[in-house]
A = this chain, B = another copy of it.
Amino acid sequence: MTDKMNHSSNEPEVETTEPLHFLSKVEASAIETELLRDYRFGQQQLIEIWGYACAIAITKAFPLKSISKKQPTVLVVCGPEQNGSVGLVCARHLRIFEYEPTIYYPKRSSHSVHQDFTVQCEKMDIPFLSYLPTEVQLINDAYNLVIDATLGPESDPKDIKEPYSSILVTLKQVKIPIASVDVPLGWDADEADKEGISPEVLISLVAPKKCATNFSGKHFLAGRFLPYDIQKKYELNLPEFPETECLIEL
């Protein structure tokens, strides 16, 4: 046996004395690199963890019983990179939780990890829209909410290209609530942007980004798996997650 068999202390998960740290783009990218390279987390694994936690967040913010329309429809708008795949996983779990997600995924990634998540949704008969209606009332009427899993912290809001610039115009006009994953469409991860959309719900992954500092809506931190050493190194000062919850409302 190793001499580690008898543990001498139970390392605390949380340090509550310091305020929550809001990550810059650079820090967010560094943490992800470290998780993938040093801790050998897989991209597929992280996307599954995050997408599942996003689905749980949606069930808390919009419980089935509170849904006003007859059908619990949800429109999930997915971007071309990792954030989009988180949206795909979220849609798949929402389907399992008896919601009725519909996916709009205009630019599909050529990476096999993203393609696999797409097939999983297709094979579960989750409908994919071939285009997003420009008539906003159609969206308001058809869905209870929109999940914005469009662009992540890596994107530059000053350089949003089609089809995302048109999606931004549309989503700025919808009247149903929007829940954004990590960074709302049109925002810069380092600062909130009034040119972007105005989500009612924000689901931060790993830790909230700087842009979320003054976010006044419902704000979840999703995905409870971060190694303690990473939490310490980046002084994240994450709050204590209740019991076995995979997310926490900030």
CB–CB B124/A227 < 8 A: yes
| Chain B contacts for A29, CB-based, 8 A | none
Over the window 75-102 of chain A, the binary record of Cβ atoms lying under 8 Å from chain B Cβ atoms (1 yes, 0 no) is 0000000000000000011001110101
Q: Is the CB of B98 within 8 A of A56?
A: no
Q: Which of A18-26, A125-133, A187-195 contacts B (4 or more CB under 8 A)?
A: A125-133
Binding site for B on A (CB under 8 A): 1-2, 4-7, 10, 13, 38-42, 44-45, 48-49, 52, 55-56, 59, 71-73, 92-93, 96-98, 100, 102, 113, 115-116, 119-120, 123-125, 127-131, 133, 138, 142, 224-225, 227-229, 243-244
With contacts A7-B73, A42-B116, A124-B227 known, what are 20 further pairs, Cβ within 8 A?
A1-B130, A1-B138, A2-B127, A2-B130, A5-B102, A6-B71, A6-B142, A7-B71, A7-B127, A39-B120, A40-B119, A42-B113, A44-B45, A45-B45, A45-B48, A49-B52, A55-B244, A93-B225, A123-B227, A124-B229
